[in-house]
Structure 1
């Protein structure tokens, strides 16, 4: 019987997954780094057969110096961090994670919707600062509160996550309309979503077609009491235009889990604005313990399947 090959596995940015990652079930050596910068990639992957990455950029200039590399297992759905053209031309397999966030991202989306429509953050901050104690009646109405039920949710992007958000919204009594680049029954155009929605939520990938899909012109078409949610990708919204729309009252609020540059070490126009009707979370919509555990298990399932000669979740098939 032929001896099972031994594989050298290197995880370049282990800190991006906040749960345990199990060891694969085949002979291997395993090295992990909490984080890796660009000029460390070649040195750290020099002896690797399998690279595990999440957001580390692995481009042709590095791949050219890594002749041993056979598999790049991406610990995320998006694979724009990998030079897929080079990998395809040189027989390097690339796998990714799929359908792990069907609960966590929709739940985070709905949390932002509720927080904005019901002005939860402004009221909580008022109470912490002692305002309630100064009021002569039992409550006050400084910030508008709108019901979720009976409002219209417009989805831009109607894949698995968009549909999951839509199903939950309908259960809450919302009317759901949606658009996407592809056709589907009931599809409406972008203008209809912009003009008719009380809440607009983005669930599309960032491509040249979708970059700044919401800009100054689109924001002007939205209702003045509408809110915009982005748990998809930074770059889908013109951030400067959004700040102006929020300051001028063109729209009522926004909830974002993503920015154009992450982390925003050099600042960001949305962060600098410090607006009460703008909620920003640090790209954690995907990161429930349950979702990360599913992601972690699927990551190693992908590696084990490839080693077993039964590859799954390949992006270059």
Structure 2
């Protein structure tokens, strides 16, 4: 049986710097679309047995309209863009990618922490604006610098990524404490938020966004943290109450925050955290995962998932 595959949003993964042959060689035909609007999905998947999507939604209506579809490959870990219940009803296997960005995200997370601790952005702006050139001394020390050695990092979400961040933090001389996520069975050595938050000098989020974790860090939680503490979020924007975070930073109730995620991405409707008057806040555009090496691992996992499915032994199946 010839296999026809369609990649609905290739440009979200491939910047022209990836080797697609391991994936392409598995199909009789692979059609690549840089992007796909929701109203184009069903038409583009007509006659296809395999759909590849990073963020393009594949709904019940699409699955009904595309009866030849047998496999959906998610070019990411998150699967909220796929109607998994409908996929199960229609006999469509769904596979995702896992662990591909651990090194890239962990590196980015620690980079954000270092930038907060060293006030990197503030000092860079000071040089660009000419303040160093006008200084009376050889150096400029206008912004307090924090040594991370000896400080405490709290981690919420201690899977592969949380553990990788913890190892890097320990290499900097930090102590690592692990928090207990709500709705999870209690585990030895993991602290409830009420005990964790007052102790940490930095808190890093690495947990999935669920009904139990939505708004996990809100007004009350921020108040429990030290006024000098840093908040890091490279997981999902919905984990943090963004208005509460903006207020805490403006009111001096937090030492700083660095985020790679927001509640809406891209933030076309605006976001309270994008206001220009919020101090000690760094935001990057959900690019922590995006090293070339990590994106190539996604291609390789897509190929592995395809080959496993075609052999009758699917892997990384979700749903």
Q: Name the TM-score class by shorter chain.
A: over 0.9
Change (3 A) 1:246 1:276: closer
Partners in 2 of 1:290 and 1:210 — Cα distance? Answer: 30
Partners in 1 of 2:261 and 2:176 — Cα distance? Answer: 23
Partners in 1 of 2:134 and 2:260 — Cα distance? Answer: 34
Partners in 1 of 2:226 and 2:152 — Cα distance? Answer: 11
Distance apart, 1:300 and its partner CA:
1.5
Q: What does 1:269-284 align with in structure 2 at a 5 Å threshold?
A: 269-284=272-287
Q: What does 1:39-78 align with in structure 2 at a 5 Å threshold?
A: 39-78=39-78
Distance apart, 1:27 and its partner CA:
4.5
Distance apart, 1:256 and its partner CA:
0.4
- Say whether 1:11 aligns with 2:14: no
2:247 pairs with one of 212, 230, 244: 244
1:116–1:277 contact (8 Å) kept in structure 2: yes
Change (3 A) 1:41 1:274: farther
2:192 pairs with one of 185, 189, 197: 189
Distance apart, 1:276 and its partner CA:
4.3
1:13-38 CA distance string (max 9 Å, x none): 00111333224444511111111111
Partners in 1 of 2:300 and 2:217 — Cα distance? Answer: 35
Change (3 A) 1:254 1:29: same
| Matching residue of 1:163 | 163
2:262 pairs with one of 232, 248, 259: 259
| Matching residue of 1:230 | 233
1:200–1:227 contact (8 Å) kept in structure 2: yes
Partners in 2 of 1:276 and 1:218 — Cα distance? Answer: 19
Alpha-carbon RMSD: 1.3
Distance apart, 1:162 and its partner CA:
0.7
Partners in 2 of 1:232 and 1:13 — Cα distance? Answer: 22
2:303 pairs with one of 294, 300, 304: 300
Secondary structure of 2:51's aligned partner: strand
Partners in 2 of 1:91 and 1:274 — Cα distance? Answer: 51
Partners in 2 of 1:210 and 1:40 — Cα distance? Answer: 33
1:25–1:304 contact (8 Å) kept in structure 2: no
Distance apart, 1:191 and its partner CA:
1.6
Distance apart, 1:84 and its partner CA:
0.4
| Matching residue of 1:104 | 104
Change (3 A) 1:20 1:271: farther
| Matching residue of 2:222 | 219
Partners in 1 of 2:228 and 2:27 — Cα distance? Answer: 59
Q: Which deviates more from structure 2 when the two are superposed, residues 273-282 or residues 95-104?
A: 273-282
What stretches of structure 2 of length at least 5 have no aligned partner?
none
1:32-59 CA distance string (max 9 Å, x none): 1111111111111111100000011111
Partners in 1 of 2:276 and 2:187 — Cα distance? Answer: 38
When normalised by structure 2's length, the TM-score is: 0.95
- Say whether 1:141 aligns with 2:145: no
2:117–2:148 contact (8 Å) kept in structure 1: yes
